[in-house]
Structure 1
Amino acid sequence: MTDLRNVIIVGSGPAGFTAAIYASRANLEPLMLEGEPRPEAPDLLPGGQLMLTTEVENYPGFPEGITGPDMMDLFRKQALRFGTEVLTYDVARAELEGPVKKLWTTDGKEHHAKAVIISTGASAKWLGLESETALRNRGVSACATCDGAFFRNKVVAVVGGGDTAMEEATFLTRFASKVLVIHRREELRASKIMQDRAKHNDKIEFVWNSEVVEVLDVEAGRVTGLRLKDTRSGDTRTIECGGLFLAIGHKPNTGFLEGQLDTDELGYVTVKGGTRTNIEGVFAAGDVSDKVYRQAITAAGMGCQAAIDAERWLETQE
Protein backbone atom coordinates (compact mmCIF):
# COMPACT_ATOMS: atom_id res chain seq x y z
CA MET A 1 0.00 0.00 0.00
CA THR A 2 1.25 3.47 -0.90
CA ASP A 3 0.68 6.67 1.08
CA LEU A 4 -2.80 8.18 1.19
CA ARG A 5 -3.12 10.65 -1.70
CA ASN A 6 -5.38 13.65 -1.90
CA VAL A 7 -6.41 12.72 -5.42
CA ILE A 8 -5.64 10.00 -7.94
CA ILE A 9 -6.41 10.56 -11.61
CA VAL A 10 -7.17 7.39 -13.55
CA GLY A 11 -6.45 7.78 -17.25
CA SER A 12 -4.70 10.44 -19.27
CA GLY A 13 -5.73 12.39 -22.37
CA PRO A 14 -6.86 16.03 -22.37
CA ALA A 15 -9.24 15.50 -19.44
CA GLY A 16 -6.77 13.66 -17.24
CA PHE A 17 -3.81 15.92 -17.86
CA THR A 18 -5.86 19.11 -17.45
CA ALA A 19 -7.18 17.76 -14.16
CA ALA A 20 -3.58 17.00 -13.18
CA ILE A 21 -2.44 20.54 -14.03
CA TYR A 22 -5.19 22.14 -11.95
CA ALA A 23 -4.83 19.69 -9.07
CA SER A 24 -1.07 20.19 -8.99
CA ARG A 25 -1.41 23.96 -8.93
CA ALA A 26 -3.84 23.58 -6.04
CA ASN A 27 -1.09 21.73 -4.12
CA LEU A 28 -3.05 18.47 -4.10
CA GLU A 29 0.01 16.53 -5.30
CA PRO A 30 -1.97 14.25 -7.63
CA LEU A 31 -0.96 10.82 -8.81
CA MET A 32 -1.91 9.92 -12.37
CA LEU A 33 -2.30 6.29 -13.42
CA GLU A 34 -2.12 6.89 -17.15
CA GLY A 35 -2.49 3.33 -18.44
CA GLU A 36 -0.18 1.02 -20.35
CA PRO A 37 0.63 1.02 -24.07
CA ARG A 38 -0.88 -2.04 -25.72
CA PRO A 39 0.36 -3.11 -29.18
CA GLU A 40 -2.78 -5.20 -29.63
CA ALA A 41 -5.04 -2.25 -28.75
CA PRO A 42 -3.63 0.94 -30.30
CA ASP A 43 -6.83 2.83 -29.45
CA LEU A 44 -5.98 2.49 -25.72
CA LEU A 45 -2.70 4.38 -25.80
CA PRO A 46 -1.71 6.55 -22.83
CA GLY A 47 -2.66 10.06 -23.85
CA GLY A 48 -6.05 9.07 -25.17
CA GLN A 49 -7.53 9.20 -28.64
CA LEU A 50 -5.50 12.25 -29.62
CA MET A 51 -2.51 9.91 -29.83
CA LEU A 52 -4.23 8.51 -32.94
CA THR A 53 -5.06 11.90 -34.47
CA THR A 54 -2.85 13.41 -37.13
CA GLU A 55 -3.98 17.03 -37.25
CA VAL A 56 -5.81 18.99 -34.57
CA GLU A 57 -7.04 22.16 -36.23
CA ASN A 58 -9.80 23.37 -33.91
CA TYR A 59 -8.03 23.67 -30.55
CA PRO A 60 -7.63 27.37 -29.65
CA GLY A 61 -4.07 28.62 -29.49
CA PHE A 62 -2.74 26.57 -32.40
CA PRO A 63 -3.57 28.61 -35.51
CA GLU A 64 -1.42 26.40 -37.74
CA GLY A 65 -2.73 23.19 -36.18
CA ILE A 66 -0.80 20.56 -34.24
CA THR A 67 -0.60 16.79 -34.30
CA GLY A 68 -2.42 14.90 -31.57
CA PRO A 69 0.74 13.27 -30.14
CA ASP A 70 2.55 16.62 -30.06
CA MET A 71 -0.37 18.22 -28.23
CA MET A 72 -0.49 15.45 -25.64
CA ASP A 73 3.27 15.74 -25.14
CA LEU A 74 2.76 19.41 -24.26
CA PHE A 75 -0.08 18.53 -21.87
CA ARG A 76 2.11 15.94 -20.19
CA LYS A 77 5.11 18.26 -19.82
CA GLN A 78 2.92 20.94 -18.26
CA ALA A 79 1.45 18.50 -15.73
CA LEU A 80 4.91 17.20 -14.82
CA ARG A 81 6.21 20.75 -14.47
CA PHE A 82 3.70 21.43 -11.70
CA GLY A 83 4.51 18.25 -9.84
CA THR A 84 2.12 15.56 -11.05
CA GLU A 85 3.46 12.05 -10.49
CA VAL A 86 2.68 9.74 -13.42
CA LEU A 87 2.71 5.95 -13.33
CA THR A 88 2.28 4.01 -16.57
CA TYR A 89 0.02 1.23 -15.32
CA ASP A 90 -3.59 0.23 -15.80
CA VAL A 91 -6.00 0.00 -12.91
CA ALA A 92 -7.01 -3.65 -12.55
CA ARG A 93 -9.80 -3.00 -10.06
CA ALA A 94 -11.07 -0.36 -7.69
CA GLU A 95 -13.10 0.02 -4.52
CA LEU A 96 -14.49 3.55 -4.49
CA GLU A 97 -17.02 3.54 -1.66
CA GLY A 98 -16.01 5.03 1.68
CA PRO A 99 -13.64 7.79 2.75
CA VAL A 100 -10.55 5.98 1.39
CA LYS A 101 -10.66 5.00 -2.28
CA LYS A 102 -8.61 1.90 -3.13
CA LEU A 103 -7.12 1.15 -6.54
CA TRP A 104 -4.98 -1.80 -7.57
CA THR A 105 -2.65 -1.37 -10.54
CA THR A 106 -1.42 -4.08 -12.89
CA ASP A 107 2.01 -4.10 -11.24
CA GLY A 108 0.35 -5.53 -8.13
CA LYS A 109 0.47 -2.37 -6.02
CA GLU A 110 -2.37 -0.85 -4.03
CA HIS A 111 -3.02 2.90 -4.05
CA HIS A 112 -5.22 4.88 -1.67
CA ALA A 113 -6.76 8.32 -2.18
CA LYS A 114 -9.32 10.62 -0.61
CA ALA A 115 -10.68 11.57 -4.05
CA VAL A 116 -10.53 9.97 -7.50
CA ILE A 117 -11.00 11.47 -10.96
CA ILE A 118 -11.95 8.99 -13.69
CA SER A 119 -10.74 10.09 -17.14
CA THR A 120 -10.24 6.78 -18.92
CA GLY A 121 -11.95 7.88 -22.13
CA ALA A 122 -13.59 5.60 -24.67
CA SER A 123 -12.24 3.06 -27.16
CA ALA A 124 -13.21 2.07 -30.68
CA LYS A 125 -16.09 -0.27 -31.42
CA TRP A 126 -15.71 -3.27 -33.73
CA LEU A 127 -18.23 -4.99 -35.99
CA GLY A 128 -18.08 -8.24 -34.03
CA LEU A 129 -17.43 -10.50 -37.03
CA GLU A 130 -15.30 -13.62 -36.63
CA SER A 131 -13.47 -12.79 -39.85
CA GLU A 132 -12.83 -9.26 -38.62
CA THR A 133 -11.27 -10.59 -35.40
CA ALA A 134 -9.19 -13.17 -37.29
CA LEU A 135 -7.77 -10.51 -39.60
CA ARG A 136 -7.22 -7.79 -37.00
CA ASN A 137 -3.72 -6.38 -37.51
CA ARG A 138 -3.63 -8.31 -40.79
CA GLY A 139 -5.44 -5.66 -42.74
CA VAL A 140 -8.24 -4.82 -40.28
CA SER A 141 -7.61 -1.78 -38.10
CA ALA A 142 -9.38 0.87 -36.04
CA CYS A 143 -6.51 3.33 -36.34
CA ALA A 144 -5.70 4.90 -39.69
CA THR A 145 -2.93 6.97 -38.14
CA CYS A 146 -1.22 3.86 -36.80
CA ASP A 147 -1.56 1.65 -39.85
CA GLY A 148 -2.29 3.83 -42.88
CA ALA A 149 1.29 3.80 -44.16
CA PHE A 150 1.11 0.01 -44.60
CA PHE A 151 -1.50 0.42 -47.35
CA ARG A 152 0.37 2.46 -49.93
CA ASN A 153 -1.19 2.25 -53.39
CA LYS A 154 -3.93 -0.11 -52.19
CA VAL A 155 -7.70 0.18 -52.18
CA VAL A 156 -8.96 0.37 -48.59
CA ALA A 157 -12.40 0.66 -47.00
CA VAL A 158 -13.64 2.73 -44.07
CA VAL A 159 -16.85 1.81 -42.24
CA GLY A 160 -18.76 4.68 -40.66
CA GLY A 161 -20.55 7.93 -41.38
CA GLY A 162 -19.45 10.37 -38.69
CA ASP A 163 -16.65 12.88 -38.35
CA THR A 164 -14.19 10.18 -37.34
CA ALA A 165 -14.92 8.17 -40.46
CA MET A 166 -14.46 11.22 -42.68
CA GLU A 167 -11.21 12.09 -40.93
CA GLU A 168 -9.92 8.53 -41.26
CA ALA A 169 -10.90 8.35 -44.93
CA THR A 170 -9.28 11.69 -45.73
CA PHE A 171 -6.09 10.72 -43.92
CA LEU A 172 -5.89 7.38 -45.75
CA THR A 173 -5.91 9.13 -49.14
CA ARG A 174 -2.31 10.08 -48.39
CA PHE A 175 -1.37 6.45 -48.91
CA ALA A 176 -4.18 4.48 -50.56
CA SER A 177 -4.99 4.56 -54.25
CA LYS A 178 -8.71 4.67 -53.39
CA VAL A 179 -10.76 4.85 -50.18
CA LEU A 180 -14.24 3.32 -50.09
CA VAL A 181 -16.49 4.75 -47.38
CA ILE A 182 -19.14 2.15 -46.48
CA HIS A 183 -22.24 3.46 -44.75
CA ARG A 184 -25.54 1.84 -43.75
CA ARG A 185 -27.62 4.78 -44.92
CA GLU A 186 -27.68 7.37 -47.70
CA GLU A 187 -26.85 10.30 -45.42
CA LEU A 188 -23.78 10.93 -43.31
CA ARG A 189 -23.81 11.97 -39.65
CA ALA A 190 -20.58 13.92 -40.08
CA SER A 191 -20.42 17.71 -39.82
CA LYS A 192 -20.85 19.60 -43.09
CA ILE A 193 -17.21 20.68 -43.28
CA MET A 194 -16.01 17.08 -42.87
CA GLN A 195 -18.56 15.82 -45.40
CA ASP A 196 -17.54 18.42 -47.95
CA ARG A 197 -13.86 17.66 -47.45
CA ALA A 198 -14.43 13.96 -48.08
CA LYS A 199 -16.89 14.36 -50.96
CA HIS A 200 -14.53 16.68 -52.80
CA ASN A 201 -11.61 14.29 -52.49
CA ASP A 202 -11.16 12.44 -55.78
CA LYS A 203 -9.74 9.40 -54.01
CA ILE A 204 -12.82 8.85 -51.82
CA GLU A 205 -15.81 6.88 -53.12
CA PHE A 206 -19.00 6.29 -51.13
CA VAL A 207 -20.77 2.93 -50.90
CA TRP A 208 -24.26 3.71 -49.61
CA ASN A 209 -26.86 1.48 -47.91
CA SER A 210 -24.34 -1.25 -47.25
CA GLU A 211 -22.94 -3.14 -44.28
CA VAL A 212 -19.98 -5.49 -43.99
CA VAL A 213 -21.02 -9.08 -43.23
CA GLU A 214 -17.66 -10.77 -43.85
CA VAL A 215 -14.04 -9.75 -44.23
CA LEU A 216 -12.13 -11.73 -46.86
CA ASP A 217 -9.93 -13.73 -46.80
CA VAL A 218 -9.21 -15.51 -43.52
CA GLU A 219 -7.61 -18.46 -45.30
CA ALA A 220 -5.23 -16.14 -47.09
CA GLY A 221 -4.31 -14.50 -43.77
CA ARG A 222 -4.87 -11.00 -45.12
CA VAL A 223 -7.66 -8.69 -46.27
CA THR A 224 -8.48 -9.22 -49.95
CA GLY A 225 -12.04 -7.92 -50.00
CA LEU A 226 -15.37 -7.52 -48.24
CA ARG A 227 -18.76 -9.18 -48.51
CA LEU A 228 -21.43 -6.48 -48.29
CA LYS A 229 -25.16 -6.70 -47.70
CA ASP A 230 -27.54 -4.14 -49.14
CA THR A 231 -29.50 -2.75 -46.16
CA ARG A 232 -32.58 -2.24 -48.35
CA SER A 233 -32.81 -5.41 -50.46
CA GLY A 234 -30.71 -7.81 -48.42
CA ASP A 235 -28.67 -8.76 -51.48
CA THR A 236 -24.97 -9.46 -50.99
CA ARG A 237 -22.00 -8.71 -53.18
CA THR A 238 -18.23 -8.79 -52.93
CA ILE A 239 -15.82 -5.91 -53.41
CA GLU A 240 -12.04 -6.03 -53.58
CA CYS A 241 -9.86 -4.07 -51.16
CA GLY A 242 -6.62 -4.52 -49.27
CA GLY A 243 -7.59 -3.09 -45.91
CA LEU A 244 -10.54 -2.31 -43.64
CA PHE A 245 -10.68 0.53 -41.10
CA LEU A 246 -13.45 0.74 -38.50
CA ALA A 247 -14.84 4.15 -37.49
CA ILE A 248 -18.25 3.26 -36.05
CA GLY A 249 -18.15 4.77 -32.61
CA HIS A 250 -16.68 4.18 -29.18
CA LYS A 251 -17.45 2.61 -25.83
CA PRO A 252 -16.37 4.08 -22.48
CA ASN A 253 -13.45 2.37 -20.75
CA THR A 254 -15.05 1.53 -17.43
CA GLY A 255 -14.55 -2.21 -17.07
CA PHE A 256 -12.30 -1.85 -14.04
CA LEU A 257 -15.09 -0.08 -12.14
CA GLU A 258 -17.26 -3.23 -12.11
CA GLY A 259 -20.49 -1.26 -12.07
CA GLN A 260 -19.70 0.86 -9.03
CA LEU A 261 -20.64 4.12 -10.76
CA ASP A 262 -24.00 4.99 -12.26
CA THR A 263 -23.96 4.95 -16.06
CA ASP A 264 -26.39 5.63 -18.88
CA GLU A 265 -27.73 3.02 -21.28
CA LEU A 266 -24.51 3.14 -23.34
CA GLY A 267 -22.22 2.75 -20.35
CA TYR A 268 -21.07 6.36 -20.05
CA VAL A 269 -20.53 7.48 -16.45
CA THR A 270 -23.39 9.69 -15.26
CA VAL A 271 -22.34 13.01 -13.73
CA LYS A 272 -24.32 15.72 -11.98
CA GLY A 273 -23.52 19.19 -10.76
CA GLY A 274 -20.44 19.36 -12.95
CA THR A 275 -18.38 16.18 -12.73
CA ARG A 276 -19.68 14.52 -9.57
CA THR A 277 -20.66 10.86 -9.77
CA ASN A 278 -23.02 8.94 -7.51
CA ILE A 279 -20.14 8.15 -5.11
CA GLU A 280 -18.89 10.92 -2.84
CA GLY A 281 -15.36 11.95 -3.72
CA VAL A 282 -15.37 10.35 -7.16
CA PHE A 283 -15.48 12.53 -10.26
CA ALA A 284 -15.53 11.81 -14.00
CA ALA A 285 -14.25 13.88 -16.91
CA GLY A 286 -13.83 13.59 -20.66
CA ASP A 287 -15.12 10.96 -23.06
CA VAL A 288 -15.78 8.44 -20.30
CA SER A 289 -18.82 10.56 -19.41
CA ASP A 290 -19.35 12.70 -22.52
CA LYS A 291 -21.07 11.03 -25.48
CA VAL A 292 -22.30 14.30 -27.01
CA TYR A 293 -19.36 16.59 -27.74
CA ARG A 294 -16.31 14.29 -27.51
CA GLN A 295 -13.81 17.02 -28.38
CA ALA A 296 -10.35 17.66 -26.99
CA ILE A 297 -11.35 21.09 -25.72
CA THR A 298 -14.52 19.86 -23.98
CA ALA A 299 -12.55 17.02 -22.39
CA ALA A 300 -9.95 19.51 -21.15
CA GLY A 301 -12.73 21.73 -19.80
CA MET A 302 -14.22 18.80 -17.92
CA GLY A 303 -10.78 17.95 -16.55
CA CYS A 304 -10.55 21.48 -15.17
CA GLN A 305 -14.03 21.14 -13.64
CA ALA A 306 -13.18 17.78 -12.08
CA ALA A 307 -10.03 19.11 -10.42
CA ILE A 308 -11.89 22.12 -9.01
CA ASP A 309 -14.80 19.92 -7.90
CA ALA A 310 -12.35 17.55 -6.19
CA GLU A 311 -10.49 20.42 -4.52
CA ARG A 312 -13.68 21.94 -3.14
CA TRP A 313 -15.00 18.56 -2.02
CA LEU A 314 -11.74 17.83 -0.19
CA GLU A 315 -12.01 21.16 1.61
CA THR A 316 -15.40 20.12 2.98
CA GLN A 317 -13.87 16.92 4.37
CA GLU A 318 -11.21 18.66 6.49
Structure 2
Amino acid sequence: MFFSVVIPTYDRQPILEKCLKALENQQSSSLFSDYEIVVVDDGSTDGTVEWLQSDSAKFPHVKLFCQNHQGAAAARNLGVEKAIGDTIIFIDSDLVVTEVFLRAHAEALDQGQKELGSDASGTGSEPARLFTYGRVINTCNFDNPTAEPFKVTDFSAAYFATGNVAIARHWLEKAGLFDVGFQLYGWEDLELGVRLKKLGLTLIKCPDAVGYHWHPPFSLEQIPDMIDKEIQRGRMGVLFYQKHPTWDVKMMIQMTWISRALWEGLTIGGRLNERTMAPLIQWLIQQGKPQLAEQVARIFLNWYTVRAVYDAYAESQQR
Protein backbone atom coordinates (compact mmCIF):
# COMPACT_ATOMS: atom_id res chain seq x y z
CA MET A 1 0.00 0.00 0.00
CA PHE A 2 1.00 3.62 -0.57
CA PHE A 3 -0.05 6.15 2.09
CA SER A 4 -1.20 9.68 1.38
CA VAL A 5 -1.41 11.63 4.65
CA VAL A 6 -3.91 14.43 4.03
CA ILE A 7 -3.64 17.44 6.35
CA PRO A 8 -5.86 20.54 6.06
CA THR A 9 -4.41 23.57 7.82
CA TYR A 10 -5.40 27.13 8.63
CA ASP A 11 -3.16 29.53 10.59
CA ARG A 12 -1.30 26.85 12.56
CA GLN A 13 2.28 27.29 11.35
CA PRO A 14 4.15 26.66 14.67
CA ILE A 15 2.44 23.37 15.52
CA LEU A 16 2.23 22.36 11.84
CA GLU A 17 6.03 22.42 11.78
CA LYS A 18 6.12 19.87 14.62
CA CYS A 19 3.43 17.83 12.88
CA LEU A 20 5.40 17.61 9.62
CA LYS A 21 8.75 16.92 11.29
CA ALA A 22 7.20 13.96 13.11
CA LEU A 23 5.75 12.61 9.86
CA GLU A 24 9.12 12.90 8.13
CA ASN A 25 10.63 10.74 10.88
CA GLN A 26 8.67 7.53 10.27
CA GLN A 27 9.87 3.95 10.58
CA SER A 28 9.61 1.98 7.35
CA SER A 29 7.68 -1.26 6.95
CA SER A 30 7.33 -3.93 4.30
CA LEU A 31 3.56 -3.38 4.52
CA PHE A 32 3.65 0.00 2.81
CA SER A 33 5.83 0.94 -0.14
CA ASP A 34 6.12 4.67 0.52
CA TYR A 35 4.14 7.71 1.58
CA GLU A 36 3.45 11.34 0.80
CA ILE A 37 2.19 14.19 2.97
CA VAL A 38 -0.51 16.24 1.24
CA VAL A 39 -0.88 19.60 2.99
CA VAL A 40 -3.85 21.72 1.93
CA ASP A 41 -3.65 25.31 3.11
CA ASP A 42 -7.15 26.70 3.60
CA GLY A 43 -6.29 30.36 3.06
CA SER A 44 -3.91 30.88 5.99
CA THR A 45 -2.90 34.45 6.86
CA ASP A 46 0.01 33.61 9.19
CA GLY A 47 2.67 32.95 6.55
CA THR A 48 2.19 29.17 6.48
CA VAL A 49 2.48 28.94 2.69
CA GLU A 50 5.57 31.15 2.46
CA TRP A 51 7.25 29.22 5.28
CA LEU A 52 6.59 25.83 3.66
CA GLN A 53 7.80 27.03 0.29
CA SER A 54 11.02 28.44 1.76
CA ASP A 55 11.71 25.35 3.91
CA SER A 56 10.57 22.72 1.40
CA ALA A 57 13.94 20.93 1.49
CA LYS A 58 13.29 19.97 5.12
CA PHE A 59 10.08 18.18 4.16
CA PRO A 60 10.79 15.94 1.14
CA HIS A 61 7.50 14.03 1.49
CA VAL A 62 5.33 17.17 1.56
CA LYS A 63 3.21 18.32 -1.37
CA LEU A 64 1.52 21.68 -0.80
CA PHE A 65 -1.79 22.76 -2.31
CA CYS A 66 -3.72 25.94 -1.58
CA GLN A 67 -7.33 27.07 -1.68
CA ASN A 68 -9.31 30.09 -0.57
CA HIS A 69 -10.77 29.74 2.92
CA GLN A 70 -13.57 27.21 2.38
CA GLY A 71 -13.36 24.99 5.46
CA ALA A 72 -11.92 21.63 6.40
CA ALA A 73 -14.34 19.54 4.31
CA ALA A 74 -13.35 21.23 1.05
CA ALA A 75 -9.67 21.11 2.04
CA ARG A 76 -9.77 17.36 2.70
CA ASN A 77 -11.59 16.76 -0.58
CA LEU A 78 -8.89 18.66 -2.45
CA GLY A 79 -6.25 16.64 -0.62
CA VAL A 80 -7.84 13.36 -1.68
CA GLU A 81 -8.15 14.62 -5.25
CA LYS A 82 -4.45 15.51 -5.39
CA ALA A 83 -3.22 12.42 -3.49
CA ILE A 84 -1.63 9.54 -5.39
CA GLY A 85 -1.89 6.91 -2.64
CA ASP A 86 -4.32 4.02 -2.55
CA THR A 87 -4.74 4.52 1.21
CA ILE A 88 -5.59 7.90 2.75
CA ILE A 89 -4.67 8.88 6.30
CA PHE A 90 -6.42 11.94 7.70
CA ILE A 91 -4.90 13.87 10.56
CA ASP A 92 -5.24 17.46 11.73
CA SER A 93 -2.42 19.98 11.46
CA ASP A 94 -2.12 20.28 15.25
CA LEU A 95 -1.40 16.56 15.69
CA VAL A 96 2.10 15.29 16.50
CA VAL A 97 2.58 11.56 15.87
CA THR A 98 5.15 8.99 17.02
CA GLU A 99 7.72 7.41 14.71
CA VAL A 100 5.70 4.16 14.44
CA PHE A 101 2.52 5.97 13.38
CA LEU A 102 2.41 4.84 9.73
CA ARG A 103 3.69 1.36 10.54
CA ALA A 104 0.98 0.89 13.18
CA HIS A 105 -1.78 1.86 10.73
CA ALA A 106 -0.30 -0.48 8.09
CA GLU A 107 -0.13 -3.39 10.54
CA ALA A 108 -3.70 -2.81 11.75
CA LEU A 109 -5.04 -2.62 8.19
CA ASP A 110 -3.20 -5.80 7.26
CA GLN A 111 -4.33 -7.65 10.39
CA GLY A 112 -7.91 -6.48 9.92
CA GLN A 113 -8.00 -7.84 6.40
CA LYS A 114 -6.70 -11.20 7.60
CA GLU A 115 -9.15 -11.45 10.51
CA LEU A 116 -12.25 -10.27 8.67
CA GLY A 117 -11.42 -12.25 5.57
CA SER A 118 -13.97 -12.47 2.80
CA ASP A 119 -16.67 -10.98 5.03
CA ALA A 120 -14.81 -7.67 4.81
CA SER A 121 -14.29 -7.81 1.06
CA GLY A 122 -16.34 -6.20 -1.62
CA THR A 123 -16.99 -7.57 -5.07
CA GLY A 124 -14.30 -7.95 -7.70
CA SER A 125 -11.16 -5.98 -6.94
CA GLU A 126 -12.65 -3.78 -4.21
CA PRO A 127 -10.47 -3.37 -1.11
CA ALA A 128 -11.59 -4.79 2.21
CA ARG A 129 -14.47 -2.96 3.85
CA LEU A 130 -12.61 -1.59 6.84
CA PHE A 131 -10.64 1.38 8.13
CA THR A 132 -8.35 1.98 11.10
CA TYR A 133 -8.83 4.56 13.80
CA GLY A 134 -5.81 5.59 15.86
CA ARG A 135 -5.61 7.07 19.34
CA VAL A 136 -5.69 10.83 19.95
CA ILE A 137 -4.26 12.24 23.19
CA ASN A 138 -4.92 15.88 24.03
CA THR A 139 -2.02 17.95 25.34
CA CYS A 140 -1.06 21.56 25.95
CA ASN A 141 2.67 20.71 26.16
CA PHE A 142 4.07 22.46 23.07
CA ASP A 143 7.74 21.70 23.78
CA ASN A 144 7.23 17.95 24.27
CA PRO A 145 3.68 17.00 23.21
CA THR A 146 4.38 13.25 23.04
CA ALA A 147 5.12 13.18 26.79
CA GLU A 148 1.41 13.46 27.64
CA PRO A 149 -0.18 10.31 29.14
CA PHE A 150 -3.53 8.95 27.99
CA LYS A 151 -6.44 10.31 30.07
CA VAL A 152 -10.04 9.23 30.51
CA THR A 153 -11.12 12.42 28.75
CA ASP A 154 -9.16 11.32 25.66
CA PHE A 155 -11.46 8.35 25.06
CA SER A 156 -13.54 8.61 21.89
CA ALA A 157 -16.50 6.47 20.86
CA ALA A 158 -16.72 8.08 17.40
CA TYR A 159 -17.10 5.74 14.43
CA PHE A 160 -15.21 7.89 11.91
CA ALA A 161 -13.24 10.98 12.96
CA THR A 162 -10.58 12.64 10.85
CA GLY A 163 -8.17 13.37 13.70
CA ASN A 164 -6.41 10.04 13.07
CA VAL A 165 -7.91 7.60 10.57
CA ALA A 166 -6.66 5.44 7.66
CA ILE A 167 -8.95 4.26 4.87
CA ALA A 168 -8.75 3.05 1.26
CA ARG A 169 -9.43 5.99 -1.04
CA HIS A 170 -11.82 3.71 -2.96
CA TRP A 171 -14.34 3.87 -0.13
CA LEU A 172 -14.02 7.63 0.28
CA GLU A 173 -14.77 8.11 -3.38
CA LYS A 174 -17.62 5.59 -3.33
CA ALA A 175 -19.17 7.32 -0.31
CA GLY A 176 -18.89 10.70 -2.05
CA LEU A 177 -16.12 12.38 0.02
CA PHE A 178 -16.94 15.16 2.49
CA ASP A 179 -20.02 17.34 2.11
CA VAL A 180 -18.71 20.89 1.53
CA GLY A 181 -22.00 22.23 2.85
CA PHE A 182 -20.40 21.87 6.28
CA GLN A 183 -18.61 25.21 6.05
CA LEU A 184 -18.78 25.98 9.76
CA TYR A 185 -17.21 24.02 12.60
CA GLY A 186 -18.14 20.41 13.24
CA TRP A 187 -19.74 17.16 12.05
CA GLU A 188 -18.42 16.86 8.48
CA ASP A 189 -16.36 13.78 9.36
CA LEU A 190 -19.08 12.04 11.38
CA GLU A 191 -21.57 12.70 8.58
CA LEU A 192 -19.24 10.96 6.13
CA GLY A 193 -18.96 8.19 8.70
CA VAL A 194 -22.71 7.57 8.45
CA ARG A 195 -22.35 7.03 4.71
CA LEU A 196 -19.34 4.75 5.20
CA LYS A 197 -21.26 2.69 7.74
CA LYS A 198 -24.05 2.24 5.19
CA LEU A 199 -21.43 0.77 2.85
CA GLY A 200 -20.66 -1.83 5.52
CA LEU A 201 -17.20 -0.68 6.60
CA THR A 202 -15.82 -2.06 9.86
CA LEU A 203 -13.92 0.14 12.32
CA ILE A 204 -10.58 -1.35 13.43
CA LYS A 205 -9.15 0.32 16.54
CA CYS A 206 -5.43 1.06 16.22
CA PRO A 207 -4.15 2.27 19.63
CA ASP A 208 -0.49 2.05 18.58
CA ALA A 209 -1.03 4.79 15.97
CA VAL A 210 -0.90 7.59 18.50
CA GLY A 211 -1.35 11.27 17.70
CA TYR A 212 -0.91 14.02 20.28
CA HIS A 213 -3.43 16.79 19.69
CA TRP A 214 -1.91 20.06 20.84
CA HIS A 215 -3.87 23.08 21.98
CA PRO A 216 -2.80 26.09 24.08
CA PRO A 217 -3.30 25.83 27.87
CA PHE A 218 -6.88 26.72 28.69
CA SER A 219 -7.52 30.33 29.69
CA LEU A 220 -10.49 32.64 30.14
CA GLU A 221 -9.47 34.51 26.99
CA GLN A 222 -10.29 31.43 24.88
CA ILE A 223 -13.90 31.20 26.02
CA PRO A 224 -15.50 33.61 23.47
CA ASP A 225 -13.98 31.64 20.57
CA MET A 226 -15.03 28.36 22.20
CA ILE A 227 -18.60 29.61 22.53
CA ASP A 228 -18.58 30.63 18.87
CA LYS A 229 -17.41 27.13 17.90
CA GLU A 230 -20.18 25.52 19.95
CA ILE A 231 -22.76 27.71 18.21
CA GLN A 232 -21.29 26.70 14.84
CA ARG A 233 -21.33 23.06 15.95
CA GLY A 234 -25.00 23.38 16.82
CA ARG A 235 -25.88 24.88 13.44
CA MET A 236 -23.93 22.23 11.54
CA GLY A 237 -25.55 19.58 13.71
CA VAL A 238 -28.92 20.52 12.26
CA LEU A 239 -27.50 20.14 8.73
CA PHE A 240 -26.25 16.69 9.80
CA TYR A 241 -29.75 15.77 11.02
CA GLN A 242 -31.41 17.08 7.86
CA LYS A 243 -29.19 14.75 5.81
CA HIS A 244 -29.72 11.79 8.15
CA PRO A 245 -32.95 12.25 10.15
CA THR A 246 -32.41 9.36 12.55
CA TRP A 247 -32.53 8.96 16.31
CA ASP A 248 -28.81 8.17 16.39
CA VAL A 249 -27.96 11.51 14.80
CA LYS A 250 -30.37 13.30 17.11
CA MET A 251 -28.49 11.81 20.04
CA MET A 252 -25.12 12.80 18.59
CA ILE A 253 -26.07 16.43 18.05
CA GLN A 254 -27.98 16.54 21.38
CA MET A 255 -31.32 17.44 19.80
CA THR A 256 -33.36 15.55 22.40
CA TRP A 257 -35.44 16.64 25.36
CA ILE A 258 -33.02 14.73 27.60
CA SER A 259 -30.06 16.84 26.48
CA ARG A 260 -32.09 20.03 26.69
CA ALA A 261 -33.28 19.25 30.21
CA LEU A 262 -29.82 18.13 31.32
CA TRP A 263 -27.93 21.26 30.29
CA GLU A 264 -30.75 23.62 31.25
CA GLY A 265 -30.69 21.98 34.67
CA LEU A 266 -26.92 21.95 35.10
CA THR A 267 -26.64 25.62 34.12
CA ILE A 268 -29.81 26.62 36.03
CA GLY A 269 -31.38 27.89 32.85
CA GLY A 270 -28.16 29.47 31.63
CA ARG A 271 -27.42 31.34 34.86
CA LEU A 272 -24.19 29.39 35.27
CA ASN A 273 -22.34 30.83 32.31
CA GLU A 274 -19.02 32.32 31.20
CA ARG A 275 -19.56 35.35 33.41
CA THR A 276 -20.82 33.81 36.61
CA MET A 277 -18.38 30.89 36.51
CA ALA A 278 -15.32 32.97 35.55
CA PRO A 279 -14.04 33.30 39.16
CA LEU A 280 -14.11 29.51 39.73
CA ILE A 281 -12.49 28.81 36.35
CA GLN A 282 -9.75 31.36 36.97
CA TRP A 283 -9.11 29.93 40.45
CA LEU A 284 -8.69 26.41 39.01
CA ILE A 285 -6.27 27.75 36.39
CA GLN A 286 -4.25 29.49 39.10
CA GLN A 287 -4.15 26.21 41.03
CA GLY A 288 -2.43 24.61 38.04
CA LYS A 289 -5.54 22.71 36.90
CA PRO A 290 -6.34 24.12 33.44
CA GLN A 291 -7.76 20.81 32.19
CA LEU A 292 -10.21 20.64 35.09
CA ALA A 293 -11.10 24.29 34.47
CA GLU A 294 -11.89 23.45 30.86
CA GLN A 295 -14.13 20.56 31.91
CA VAL A 296 -16.02 22.92 34.23
CA ALA A 297 -16.43 25.35 31.33
CA ARG A 298 -17.90 22.50 29.28
CA ILE A 299 -21.04 22.77 31.43
CA PHE A 300 -22.09 26.08 29.90
CA LEU A 301 -20.40 25.37 26.54
CA ASN A 302 -22.69 22.36 26.07
CA TRP A 303 -25.63 24.57 26.97
CA TYR A 304 -24.63 26.90 24.11
CA THR A 305 -24.42 23.90 21.76
CA VAL A 306 -27.89 22.60 22.61
CA ARG A 307 -29.43 26.05 22.43
CA ALA A 308 -27.82 26.61 19.01
CA VAL A 309 -29.18 23.26 17.78
CA TYR A 310 -32.75 24.16 18.72
CA ASP A 311 -32.44 27.73 17.38
CA ALA A 312 -31.07 26.50 14.06
CA TYR A 313 -33.73 23.80 13.80
CA ALA A 314 -36.50 26.35 14.47
CA GLU A 315 -35.07 28.58 11.73
CA SER A 316 -35.00 25.68 9.30
CA GLN A 317 -38.64 24.87 10.06
CA GLN A 318 -39.65 28.47 9.44
CA ARG A 319 -37.89 28.43 6.07
Category of TM-score, reference length = shorter chain: under 0.3
TM (norm. structure 1) is 0.24
The structure richer in helix per residue is: 2
> When the two structures are superposed, what TM-score results if normalisation uses the length of structure 2?
0.24
Q: Whose strand fraction is larger, Structure 1's or Structure 2's? A: 1
